[in-house]
Amino acid sequence: MQTALASFACGLLFGLGLLISGMTQPRKVLGFLDVFGTWDPTLAFVMASALLISGLGFSFATRRARPLLAVENLWPTRTDIDAPLVLGSILFGVGWGLVGLCPGPALENLASLSPRVFGFVAAMALGMVLHNVWQGRSVGWSNSGGPVESPLDG
Amino acid sequence: MAGFDPWTALIGGALIGVASALLMLLTGRIAGISGILGGCLASGAPDRGWRLAFIGGLVIAPLIGGLFGHPLPLPEMPANWAIIVAGGLLVGFGTRLAGGCTSGHGVCGIARLSSRSFSATVIFMLAAIVVVAITRHVLGA
């Protein structure tokens, strides 16, 4: 219960950050990606600020044995740069460039009740399920006790 | 540069950083939205609770923001439904294949100095820049 409340509060803060910085608006994101047009530097400022604060917080977290409300810190463990990382990032980047929405802002924009946002989120969820099914077929984890917790990157 | 405000960008970014740091310090989890949602959609996921709670906070944020003078701007979406559906499928499948998105790789991954996440971020940004260059300046959409 405490973990759920803490997660809710973090989701809320994260959403307020996206909202205040303007990053829920696809036009702002596409403006950043449009380096050959009228470039909008907003996303670079958002990311620099987020990196500074989360970097400080993470360096503090690495010096603690465990988190406050759970048994262990689930740091991602992978360090290799493999084909799925490269191919997946290309596919994601193409979709991001087409619409201007990545997963966080897409979910937050559900609050706008826009049918087009619901369509995007439904397609995004379907893409994730298709990946899970495909991954299940290729490595057979569905027969070995369900999905693996790590080594997600994020 | 229409509508560029460095201060709201820095303050909003700081809130994202605080949220990511707090999620790790409190629950030991990485604040990667594609991983959080993807984990919800996995069959037999044992830990949907905290994931749904995080997503709930994210979706409710505009209501709280609205009370403090930051209402959610109506998102400007493509007119063409085929682009919306294709974009959603690519973002969903691609982020899961890559193991993260803008938050998991772009913020949390780079913040913990992961070369894997740094590579992912450079690649998805370059891919998106190329797509926007084509749609806006070659096709002239």
Share of chain A above pLDDT 70, in %: 90
pLDDT at B61: 98
Q: How many distinct structural domains can be found in chain A? A: 2
Considering the domain boundaries, does residue B66 fall inside one? no
Give yes or no: residues A84 and A136 share one domain. yes
Give yes or no: residues A85 and A154 share one domain. yes
Closest Cα of chain B to A138: distance in Å?
A: 13
pLDDT at A111: 98
Considering the domain boundaries, does residue B135 fall inside one? yes
B141 touches chain A (CB under 8 A): no
pLDDT at A135: 87
From B82, B21, B48, B121, select the one nearest A88 (Cα to Cα).
B121
Give yes or no: residues A47 and A93 share one domain. no
Considering the domain boundaries, does residue B34 fall inside one? no
**Would you say residue B137 has pLDDT above 90?**
yes
Q: Is the dihedral of CA A65, A67, A71, A72 positive or negative?
A: negative
pLDDT at A145: 41
Which residues of chain A neighbour B118 with C-beta distances below 8 Å?
none
Closest Cα of chain A to B2: distance in Å?
A: 7
Contact A43, A29 (CB under 8 A): yes
Q: Name the residue range of residue A101's domain.
A: 80-154
Q: Name the residue range of residue B98's domain.
A: 77-141
Q: How many Å apart are CA B119 and CA B83, to the nearest integer?
A: 27
User: How confident is the model over A79-124, as pLDDT tens digits?
Assistant: 899 999 999 999 999 999 999 999 999 999 999 999 999 999 999 9
**Would you say residue A139 has pLDDT above 90?**
no
User: How confident is the model over B4-34, as pLDDT tens digits?
Assistant: 999 999 999 999 999 999 999 999 999 999 9
Considering the domain boundaries, does residue B48 fall inside one? no
Give yes or no: residues A62 and A1 share one domain. yes
User: How confident is the model over B43-74, as pLDDT tens digits?
Assistant: 877 889 999 999 999 999 999 999 999 999 99
For chain A, what is the largest distance between any 2 Cα atoms, rounded to a whole number of angstroms? Answer: 51
Domain's final residue, options A38, A58, A73: A73
Give yes or no: residues A59 and A35 share one domain. yes
∠ Cα B15 B21 B27 (to 5°): 125
Nearest to B10 among A28, A45, A71 (CB): A45
